[in-house]
Structure 1
Amino acid sequence: MKVYGHPLSINVQKVMWLIEELDLSIALEEVDIRHSHRDAQAIAERCPMQQTPVLEDGPNSVWESHTILRYLVACYGNKMWYPDCAFQRSCYERWMDWCLSSFQPVIKRALFSSASDHPHAMSSQAMSSQAMSSQAMSSRDMPSREKALEQCRYHLERIDEVLAEQKYLASDRITLADIAIGSLIHSLHNEASLTLPPNISRWYQQLADLPGYQRWIMQAESTLPA
């Protein structure tokens, strides 16, 4: 098995972190579909959307990061990661869906909107999320950025309320909810315009103690929005 993607992509980081938590031997095949025609062709053969990450498991190609997360725990996880009860699975799956539909797009607007206005510049050099959010914003970006930051604060308050009642997002054990959303929290932790609420700070420190989180999330030189 292998994963195709770039280590600076937040969606690739999620997948690689989970792989380490599951103690699987799956290598990351680094590709740069923005600059390499050969890499772009290789991904197009495996994903009709021509996006990464893509998991190659024998003859099967699985794409979309959260689908890959679900596939990995269904095939290779224990009952902690993939419980038999459909309702128990829904407890983390709802967070995963909310992350993609609501939380991650807001973070992208708050931290990466200047880079997304200039996609060629973003792909030509690695920029830290803090630098992008605090230095690269032009004056015309600020109103939309401030609105996105306010939405981030609102979402963080809701997450903090949940974490006041339990150790992790979906239960008292780590689940895919923590993989999906926890992958994003490091960038917010480094954002000068935001302060993580106390329960999220405690949760973040729990994640920061995990070797997989340190390797794939915290030690990345920078993070791109997708």
Structure 2
Amino acid sequence: MATIRLLGRKTSGNVQKILWMMSEMNLAFSREDYGGPFASLDAPAFVALNSNRLVPVLVHGDEVVWESNSILRYLANVHGPTPLYPEEPYIRSLCERWMDWQLSSLNPCMSPLFIAMVRTAAADRDPVMLERLTAQARDLFARLDEALAATDYLAGSSLTLADISTGMFAYRWFEMALDRGTPTPHLRRWLELLKQRAAFREYVMIGLS
């Protein structure tokens, strides 16, 4: 079996998704620090793997995969079948739609909010932007809360890639010092389920930086 190399720093949320999934599947892998204070994303060797200059990048033998949710799907297909990526078409569609929602709706809001709150000095923050992003995040997490009212996990009764792609954002949402507005009990209950998983604790619950 070809070796798995994951390129990306462990503080990257998109890298955390992959680490969490690989741990859940008991896959052997190595990780190399890229981005931030580590190896440059502009290094020619890295650009040759991903011209977008973003982490994570998965190198699996001769295959190179980038975009975090594509990596999740790739690993599930190569090393599956796995309950993380259900085979039944409708359940898989539930899983896929939340993964797509994370990319199209949650990420554009939460990524700049995280950068502003965690990686920007308080004196340099834009209060108008913060209020706008926080309001957007409250609305998005309220939708998640509503969806979780009738089910344990986003795509049914067990953990799937839907939860892995979004769970990191929920952890960050509750860790940041923000006005989260109306209580979201179903979202909190779901997050507590995720926190019971050893892989989530090891790779996601590492603080904010």
Same fold judged by TM-score > 0.5?
yes
Partner of 1:2: 5
Kindly report the root-mean-square deviation, in angstroms, between the aligned alpha carbons of the 2 structures: 2.1
What residue identity is the alignment partner of 1:222? Answer: L
The answer to whether the aligner puts 1:70 opposite 2:73 as a matched pair is: yes
Q: What is the CA deviation profile of residues 2-33 of structure 1, one whole-angstrom value per residue up to 9, with x for unaligned ones?
A: 10111111110111111101110111122237
Paired residues for 1:1-226 under 5 Å: 1-32=4-35, 36-37=39-40, 40-113=43-116, 129=118, 132=119, 136=122, 138=124, 141-195=126-180, 197-219=184-206, 221-223=207-209
Question: TM-score of the superposition, structure 1-length normalised?
Answer: 0.82
Higher relative contact order (Cα pairs below 8 Å, separated by 6+ residues): 1
- Count of residue pairs the alignment pairs up: 204
Q: Secondary structure at the match of 1:169?
A: coil
Q: State the alpha-carbon separation in 1 of the partners of residues 82 and 199 from structure 2.
A: 20
What residue identity is the alignment partner of 2:193? Answer: Q
Q: Compared with structure 1, are the counterparts of its residues 173 and 35 closer, same or farther at alpha carbon in structure 2 (3 Å cutoff)?
A: closer
Q: State the alpha-carbon separation in 2 of the partners of residues 177 and 47 from structure 1.
A: 25
What residue identity is the alignment partner of 1:169? Answer: L
Gaps of 5+ in 2: none
How far is the alpha carbon of 1:46 from its aligned partner? 1.3
Percent identity between matched residues is 32
How far is the alpha carbon of 1:191 from its aligned partner? 1.8
Q: State the alpha-carbon separation in 2 of the partners of residues 14 and 152 from structure 1.
A: 20
Gaps of 5+ in 1: 115-128
Q: Secondary structure at the match of 1:45?
A: helix
How far is the alpha carbon of 1:189 from its aligned partner? 0.9
Question: TM-score of the superposition, structure 2-length normalised?
Answer: 0.89
Query: Is contact 1:13-1:216 (8 Å) kept?
Result: yes
Q: Compared with structure 1, are the counterparts of its residues 57 and 85 closer, same or farther at alpha carbon in structure 2 (3 Å cutoff)?
A: same
| Structure 1, 158-167 or 32-41: larger mean CA deviation | 32-41
What residue identity is the alignment partner of 1:216? Answer: Y
